[in-house]
């Protein structure tokens, strides 16, 4: 079974389009980014608590079956790390445990604010190792959904036993193809978000909170084409 819109009952925290977030001066923001951000949308503490609940749901769903957790790099590494750590805590302290394997894949489709329309897959040569296994793909954000659909098609070709997708964020965008992952942290407005390993041309990965980038930041860190 692969994760898709018709076979998921995912729940999430919805952040409305008119959500004002939090002023930057109420949080510790790296000095080098203070002029580049509009507001904090999701504080790190809230991300941490939501990730803990997702970990509990995943362990409950998979039962005692082993799973391979496939991290989508680069943006997914922070959510992936925290999610795996919380599953490991549950393994140590709950009545049953889930054996974890770890693997990585890198996808690239963005330049500045727009998708390039070309999905670059790096490190997929060893996906044959996933044949017959339960796979949990961990992603930072589902935007249009096209990238994840392409990855799921690739996964089908290696014949895993089961594939589910956990995404920290699901963006509401008119460009969406309607794909919904199995596990969702937050549904967010159609904004360009950075922080917690989400980047803008490789910057802002070192920002702890998820924030809205402003026009100054977009200009400063844009790729000249």
- Active site (catalytic) residues: 143
Best CA proximity match to 172, nearest among 208, 195, 141: 141
Q: Which residues pair with 69 in a beta bridge?
A: 102, 136
206: number of CA atoms within 13 Å, CB side?
A: 7
* Inter-residue contact 154 to 127 (CB < 8 Å): yes
3-state helix, strand, coil in the chain (%, to 5): 30, 30, 40
Preceding amide of 35 cis, omega within 30: no
Cα–Cα distance, 185 to 49 (Å, whole number): 10
- In sequence order, the 6+-apart residues with CB closer than 8 A to the CB of 160 are 130, 131, 132, 133, 134, 135
Instruction: Give Rg (Cα) of the chain.
Output: 17
């Amino acid at each position: 079974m692969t994760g898709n819109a018709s076979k998921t009952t995912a729940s999430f925290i919805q952040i409305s389009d008119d959500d004002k977030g939090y002023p930057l001066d109420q949080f510790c923001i790296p000095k080098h980014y203070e002029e580049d951000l509009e507001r904090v949308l999701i504080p790190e503490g809230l991300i941490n608590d939501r990730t803990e609940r997702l970990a509990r749901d995943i362990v409950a769903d998979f039962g005692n079956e082993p799973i391979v957790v496939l991290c989508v790099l680069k943006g997914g590494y922070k959510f992936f790390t925290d999610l795996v750590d919380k599953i490991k805590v549950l393994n140590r302290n709950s009545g049953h445990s889930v054996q974890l394997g770890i693997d990585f894949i890198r996808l690239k489709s963005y330049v500045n604010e727009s998708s390039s329309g070309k999905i670059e897959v790096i490190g997929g040569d060893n996906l044959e190792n996933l044949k017959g296994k339960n796979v949990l793909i961990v992603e930072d954000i589902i935007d249009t959904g096209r990238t994840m659909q392409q990855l799921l098609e690739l996964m089908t070709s290696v014949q895993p036993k089961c594939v589910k997708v956990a995404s920290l964020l699901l963006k509401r965008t008119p460009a969406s193809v309607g794909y919904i992952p199995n596990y969702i942290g937050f549904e967010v407005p159609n904004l360009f978000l950075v922080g917690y390993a989400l980047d803008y041309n490789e910057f802002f990965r070192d920002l702890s909170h998820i924030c809205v980038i402003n026009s100054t930041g977009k200009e400063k860190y844009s790729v000249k084409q």
